[in-house]
Amino acid sequence: MTAQRIDGNALSRQLRSALARRAAQLAAHGQQPALAVILVGEDPASAVYVRNKVRACQDNGLRSILEKYDASLGEAALLERIAALNADPGVHGILVQMPLPGHIDPHRVIEAIAPAKDVDGYSALCAGALMTGLEGFRPCTPCGCMKLIESTGQPLAGRHAVVIGRSNTVGKPLALLLLQANATVTLTHSATPDLGHHTRQADVVVAAVGRANTLTADMVKPGAIVIDVGINRRADGRLCGDVDFDRVQEVVGWITPVPGGVGPMTITMLLENTIQAAERRAAALLPSS
Ligand SMILES: NC(=O)C1=CN([C@@H]2O[C@H](COP(=O)(O)OP(=O)(O)OC[C@H]3O[C@@H](n4cnc5c(N)ncnc54)[C@H](OP(=O)(O)O)[C@@H]3O)[C@@H](O)[C@H]2O)C=CC1
Ligand SMILES: Nc1nc(=O)c2c([nH]1)NC[C@@H]1CN(c3ccc(C(=O)N[C@@H](CCC(=O)O)C(=O)O)cc3)C=[N+]21
Ligand SMILES: [Mg+2]
């Protein structure tokens, strides 16, 4: 039996139609949600992702402000731009595309974004809020993974979830979200000796590594849910994920494709966070009773 494909484009379309309604409602009150995207340098993959984000804003009634800078932009100049966007009441979300050129400290940049506008959810404050269960923006890619898992209708409580990769932006926050959903979580990484030993026991596997064929058919349990975060470019120029899709889909129950899986959901969650930021701002402007 072949796995059911979890369609991130279709799920995104569904969720975005509700988001577009919320954006229109805000716009009708003179509060159109606005996302500022800062791109430093010419990385071609970053250019594609940023273009997709800007287009998604346009298609769903959000305003986007795209600021492109030469790779030589100094850190102080970038921090100044962030300060200006922090102070601009017409901007609700700020995203600085990663990776940044080597001479800029990403931590300093992330922490410079006003917490109310940190729609990536990358700051230490957001990370702490996620860890403790407090309100705050949740990182977009992990949130998108959770929505994809939820769309299968399979409960997570009591299930074993194995995450491959422990980055601050994907693996680590995703492990916390899975834990919050009462899964039993194993977080693996490059120093994990026998990945297959863990993944073979998993009801849910999420691969977020950045290496093709990290998860192969001999490493998965029949019926499992497989979420592929990885984006890799093959020799022929085509995109692929971290999962050996063609063979793994013959074993598992559900699987996300690349492209068309996690990528679009990341952008959908970015729209969600930006609209939420605008809704909070609008609520704060209401006269208190
Ligand atoms: N679709 C989307 O929306 C998004 C896709 N991505 C993609 O997801 C992938 C991961 O991104 P990101 O988390 O930022 O990447 P990072 O490079 O920051 O992290 C990769 C992680 O994978 C681990 N790893 C590396 N090799 C192995 C291995 N052989 N076995 C097990 N673990 C390994 C690393 O371990 P260690 O910590 O020990 O070094 C690290 O924790 C990339 O392909 C990226 O392009 C990322 C964000 C969004
Ligand atoms: N501050 C910041 N926030 C991010 O959210 C962020 C980032 N930096 N740096 C890089 C990663 C990566 N990322 C993706 C977004 C969309 C797609 C996407 O649209 N993917 C499409 C296809 C992409 C293509 O055609 O190349 C898909 O998978 O179907 C992919 C990856 C966001 N990231
Ligand atoms: Mg990273």
Which atom, in ligand 1's list, is nearest to the CA of 258? 1
Nearest by Cα to 36 from 111, 116, 95: 95
- Which CATH code of 3.90.660.10, 3.40.50.10860, 3.40.50.720, 1.10.3720.10 fits the domain covering 29-116? 3.40.50.10860
Q: Find all residues with CB under 8 Å of 43, minimum gap 6, and list them.
A: 99
Q: Which of 266, 272, 274 to mutate to test the pocket of ligand 2 (most atoms within 8 A of CB)?
A: 266
CA–CA separation, 203 and 226 (whole Å): 9
- Residue 97 designated active-site: yes
- Give the CATH number of domain 140-263: 3.40.50.720
Taking the model in full, what pTM does it have?
Answer: 0.98
From the candidates 31, 118, 120, 244, which is the catalytic residue? 120
| Residues of each domain in the chain carrying CATH 3.40.50.10860 | 29-116
Nearest CA to ligand 2 atom 22: 259
Q: Is 269 a residue whose pLDDT tops 80?
A: yes
Q: In angstroms, how far is CA 4 from the centroid of its own chain?
A: 22
Query: 170: Cβ below 6 Å to ligand 1?
Result: yes
- For residues 136-155, give the mean pLDDT: 98
- For residues 58-77, give the mean pLDDT: 98
Given this model, what pLDDT does residue 103 score?
98
Nearest CA to ligand 2 atom 31: 263
Residues in the chain: 289
Instruction: Read off the pLDDT band of 287 (50, 70, 90).
Output: confident
| Residues of each domain in the chain carrying CATH 3.40.50.720 | 140-263
Query: 260: Cβ below 6 Å to ligand 2?
Result: yes
Kindly identify the ligand whose nearest atom is closest to the C-alpha of 266. Answer: 1
- Does ipTM exceed 0.85? yes
Query: What percent of the chain stands above pLDDT 90?
Result: 98
Given this model, what pLDDT does residue 286 score?
85
CA–CA separation, 197 and 249 (whole Å): 19
Q: Find all residues with CB under 8 Å of 84, minimum gap 6, and list them.
A: none
Which atom, in ligand 2's list, is nearest to the CA of 270? 5
Q: Which residues are annotated as a binding site for NADP(+)?
A: 165-167, 231
Q: How far is the CA of 142 from the centre of ligand 3 (A)?
A: 13
Q: Which of 192-196, 236-240, 285-289 is least confident?
A: 285-289
Instruction: Read off the pLDDT band of 109 (50, 70, 90).
Output: very high
Q: pLDDT of 146-170, one tens digit each?
A: 999 999 999 999 999 999 999 999 9
Kindly identify the ligand whose nearest atom is closest to the C-alpha of 210. Answer: 1
Which atom, in ligand 2's list, is nearest to the CA of 141? 5
Given this model, what pLDDT does residue 1 score?
78
Average model confidence (pLDDT) across the chain: 97
- Residue 49, Cβ neighbours under 10 Å: how many? 18
- Residue 120 designated active-site: yes
Instruction: Read off the pLDDT band of 273 (50, 70, 90).
Output: very high
Q: Is 289 a residue whose pLDDT tops 70?
A: no
- Residue 105 designated active-site: no
Q: Which of 79-88, 247-256, 278-287 is least confident?
A: 278-287
